[in-house]
Amino acid sequence: MNFGDRQFDFIRPSFTRISNGLKVVTVPMPGRESVSVAIWVRAGSRYETKGISGVSHFLEHMLFKGTKRRSTRQIKQEIEGVGGILNAFTSEECTCYFAKLLKGHLSRALDVLADMVNHATLDAAEFKKEKPVILEEIKMYCDLPAQYVHELMGELLWPDQPLGRPIAGTLETAGGINRSEMEAYRNRFYHPRNLVVSVAGDINHREVVRQCEEHFQITRKKPAARYAAPSIRQRKPETCFVEKPTEQTHFVIGLRGYSRVHPDRYKLALMNVLLGANMSSRLFDEVREKRGLAYEIKSGLNFFEDAGSLSISAGVETKKAATAVRIILRELEKLRLKKIGEGELRRAKEYFMSQLAMTLEDTLEHLLWICEAAVYRDQLPDRETVKRQIERVTAEDLQHLAQDLFKNRNLNLSLLGPVEASLQKKIQGQFEIHES
């Protein structure tokens, strides 16, 4: 496969591990005016015990509430006052604090982010004020059916284990966290051996390493964070129905997939494109264009270090929910039974590589892509490797993948809406894949 005449910039990232265990990753992008900086912590929802579920996310908020040197306002103004952006996110496996600004302000960004990660005071008064904000955020997610139904799916895929819990926690668990528990959690996970500092832009690796050595002089000897492997006990299709007076019925069909290091992950990425990643996809064409059942129908992937999932989601008129679910299952069956055509496969490959190339033009997006791997491994991804992996995928590969994943013992459905018992029973009665 020749992806047109595009030329890829294959300047490789560099990484150095300094003496206290901190990993520094730089992504050279010559000619860019912007620079992006991020500090990653191996601390996310799957590291938490059930009693403090949501503490990683709560702690993320608290790092913006002041340090020994800066107030909340000063933290924000130092970055935004020079035209930059400052933000953070928490996932199942990490917490990331990042800034994007003009390259002349790189030192400022590193100083602010390092100050937050190393010296946040977790002030008791700020903790008390921020807890209601966290609880309102959780309530907001519960009031967004298109999002809440994905949380229900997580509980089906990973029952009674950290991967299946909401990242923000619940009203009970987040509401019950106290400051001393948060401080103990911070001390356990926020140390150099558990951190990655990354920078992308027109920068010098040695200079970034030098600045990191200045900002991270802590030498606490602690092991890197670890978590328990997911447990899978499913033997048949599983469903979860939540009756709620919404205008639409929202549902997710979920299947466990592959990890971010699995050899077939690029095959799964192409399968996702074919299914529902764009308006040319099979699900968009069948569910929306041909039948007009949904405004939005899409598929998506979650990759973890040792697990993963594929999800298909839609919002439909309640009385059409059973039909929509049945049609989606029939599309999965088709992929099991018949190889896709070469033209469809070529278009999927072109779409995947083009989207990747356009995404990586941006310093922040490039940084996020590289460091999803760098947080856990020393072997960093590059586009040439991705390109070779995508080129190797065949129609037979995708059919075998469909036969491996699209099975009844891997099939799950979460559904939220005004669905009465009779409709629930109807959906359950047809919720299966014909595997022959």
- Burial state string for 107-132 with b = 16 or more CB within 10 A and e = fewer than 16: ebbbbbbbbbbbebebbeebbeebbe
Q: Which tokens in the block code for residue 401?
A: 């993948």
Quick one: tokens of 268? Answer: 């799964």
Q: Please provide residue 134's backbone torsions phi and psi, each rounded to the nearest 5 degrees.
A: -60, -45
Active site residue 60: yes
Q: Which of 60, 155, 238, 331 is catalytic?
A: 60
Rg of the chain (C-alpha set)? 23
The CA distance from 267 to 407, in Å, is: 17
Judge contact between 369 and 36, C-beta under 8 A. Answer: no
Phi and psi (nearest 5°) for 431?
A: -85, 80
**What is the distance of C-alpha 139 from the center of its chain?**
21
Helix ranges, 12-103 (H): 55-62, 72-80
In degrees and rounded to multiples of 5, residue 181 shows phi and psi of -65, -40
Residues assigned a catalytic role: 60
